[in-house]
């Protein structure tokens, strides 16, 4: 589980690079690069969450808040103060890191249920703030007119350009995360997941590692939020509600939270599900999500990433 082969990553990166070029030539999936931009943005969040949940065994139901903090900081600083978007992105990540330490440090010392509830409560509080601080955030109507990104005169003004930007970030974050998993930190996290007292006995500084991963996942979510704000040029609180946090949970559970690839696969599937395939059953949508999550939790504890193992098991018999 700790060794992650390099070849699939290269193949994956290549597939991501040629995808828009292919999609452009097939009318039925012509608009898929647009959905893929969102999938990439969500992948940034779920990768961090997968590290937190699958590898460190901690649960967060409040990552929509970190996503939102990044998005709103970018939105407010660029539209109202005309600041450089890249600087805002970094400011957003720094602020999120501080907030994550403040929320995470006390609650990560507690056990599973408490972190879940603390992050849940935190997420709802941030959501209420987005709605209530109308002077800053525009309230429930949100903010529009957020400028797009430019880099040394190169304007990110098309879906393709954002696609490569976002997926560039995803692949960079992916490689970094894989390195973390394969390092001593990754082993420490696995030890924490298996047994906290045992990890402590072996000299692992349990709370430090938990906070580190929590902050890392929050910062990635903040980055995703900034990209989201610039890509859409619009943010409103409804994007960052409790249900989005749960959706992130579904993405990870579906893909398999013990596997970093699971986060990518689950995120891709759920993003396409909600933007494309489930579009017609608006009323059923929540039920479908609930059913998927329950099905996966009860019958596929390792998510889709565990399916190859199950199939192999059949043939071995």
Partner 1 sequence: MEKITLASQLLQYLITGLTVGSVYAMVAVGFNIIYNVTEIINFAQGEFVMLGGLIMVFMNVAMGLPLILAFLATIILVTLVGILMDRLAIRPIRRPSVLTLIIATIAVSILIKGTASFIWGKDPFDLPAFSGRNPITFLGAVVQPQYFWVIGFLIVTAVALSIFFDRTIIGKAMSACADNPNAASLVGINVKQMILLSFALSAAIGAVAGITVTPISLMEYDRGAMLAVKGFGAAILGGLGSFPGAILGGLIMGSIESFGAGLISSGYKDAFALIVLLVILFFKPSGLLGSIEISRIKRF
For residue 43, give the nearest of 248, 181, 212 by alpha carbon: 248
Residue 16 or 124 having the CB closest to partner 1: 124
Residue 8 or 106 having the CB closest to partner 1: 106
Residue 120 or 227 having the CB closest to partner 1: 120
Asked whether 258 and 305 are in contact (CB, 8 A), the reply is: yes
The CB-of-6 to partner 1 minimum distance in angstroms stands at 29
Give start and end residues of each alpha helix (H) in the chain: 6-23, 32-50, 63-81, 85-108, 112-132, 134-137, 159-182, 184-194, 196-201, 206-232, 242-255, 260-272, 285-299, 307-316
* Dihedral, CA of residue 141, residue 145, residue 150 and residue 155, to nearest 10: 120
The CB-of-222 to partner 1 minimum distance in angstroms stands at 20
Q: 3-class DSSP state for residue 152?
A: coil
The CB-of-291 to partner 1 minimum distance in angstroms stands at 6
Residue 301 or 308 having the CB closest to partner 1: 301
The CB-of-148 to partner 1 minimum distance in angstroms stands at 32
Q: Which residues contact partner 1 (rule: CB under 8 A)? A: 53, 57, 59, 61, 103, 106-107, 110-114, 116-118, 120-122, 124-125, 128-129, 131-132, 242-243, 246, 249, 253, 257, 283-291, 293-294, 297-299, 301
d(CA 1, CA 178): 11
d(CA 307, CA 222): 32
Residue 158 or 297 having the CB closest to partner 1: 297
For the beta carbon of residue 260, count every other beta carbon within 10 angstroms: 24
The CB-of-191 to partner 1 minimum distance in angstroms stands at 16
Axis-axis angle for helices 242-255, 63-81 (nearest 10): 120
Residue 83 or 129 having the CB closest to partner 1: 129
Asked whether 55 and 29 are in contact (CB, 8 A), the reply is: no
The CB-of-171 to partner 1 minimum distance in angstroms stands at 28
Cα angle, residue 273 at apex, residues 181 and 43 outer, rounded to 5°: 25
The CB-of-248 to partner 1 minimum distance in angstroms stands at 12
Residue 91 or 257 having the CB closest to partner 1: 257
């Amino acid at each position: 589980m700790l060794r992650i082969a390099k070849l699939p990553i290269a193949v994956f990166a290549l597939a991501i690079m040629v995808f828009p070029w292919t999609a452009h030539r097939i009318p039925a999936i012509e608009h898929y690069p647009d959905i893929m931009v969102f999938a990439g943005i969500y992948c940034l969040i779920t990768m961090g969450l997968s590290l937190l949940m699958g590898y460190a065994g901690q649960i967060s139901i409040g990552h929509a808040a970190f996503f939102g903090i990044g998005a709103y900081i970018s939105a407010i600083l660029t539209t109202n103060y005309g600041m450089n978007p890249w600087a805002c992105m970094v400011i957003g990540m720094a602020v999120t890191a501080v907030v994550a330490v403040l929320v995470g440090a006390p609650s990560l010392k507690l056990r599973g249920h408490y972190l879940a509830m603390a992050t849940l409560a935190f997420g709802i509080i941030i959501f209420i703030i987005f709605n209530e601080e109308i002077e800053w955030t525009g309230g429930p109507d949100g903010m529009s007119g957020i400028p797009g990104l430019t880099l040394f005169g190169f304007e990110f003004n098309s879906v393709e350009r954002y696609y490569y930007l976002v997926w560039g970030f995803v692949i960079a974050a992916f490689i970094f995360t894989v390195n973390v998993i394969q390092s001593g930190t990754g082993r420490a996290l696995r030890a924490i997941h298996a047994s906290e007292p045992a990890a402590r006995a072996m000299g692992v500084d349990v709370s430090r590692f938990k906070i580190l991963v929590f902050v890392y996942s929050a910062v990635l979510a903040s980055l995703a939020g900034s990209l989201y704000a610039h890509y859409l040029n619009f943010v409103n609180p409804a994007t960052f509600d409790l249900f989005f946090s749960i959706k992130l949970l579904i993405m990870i559970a579906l893909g398999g939270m013990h596997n970093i690839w699971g986060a990518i696969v689950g995120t891709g599937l759920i993003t396409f599900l909600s933007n494309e395939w489930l579009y017609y059953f608006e009323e059923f949508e929540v039920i479908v999500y609930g059913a998927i999550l329950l099905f996966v939790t009860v019958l596929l504890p390792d998510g889709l990433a565990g399916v190859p193992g199950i199939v192999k098991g059949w043939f071995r018999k």
